[in-house]
Amino acid sequence: MTRLPLNPLRLTSAAALSCALMGAALAQTAPDTAAPPAPAATTVPAPTPPAPIPAPVMAAGPLNREKLQNATYVILPPVIQGNASLIGGSDLKEVLGAMSRDSQGALKRHYPGASFTTDVNAPNVIRISPQMQAPGALVPWANIGARWVLQAQGAPDLVLQQDFSLWSVYTHRADAANFVFDQLAQRLP
pLDDT value, residue 140: 87
pTM confidence score:
0.66
Q: Hey, where are the domains in the chain?
A: 10-27+61-185
Amino acid occupying residue 81: Q
pLDDT value, residue 87: 85
Task: Taking the CA atoms of 69, 75, 76 and 80 in sequence, report the sign of the dihedral they define.
Answer: positive
Note the pLDDT tens digit of each residue in 127-160. 999 999 999 998 989 999 999 999 999 999 999 9
Which residue positions in the chain have pLDDT lower than 70? Answer: 1-62
Compute the distance between CA of residue 44 and CA of residue 41 in angstroms, rounded to an integer: 9
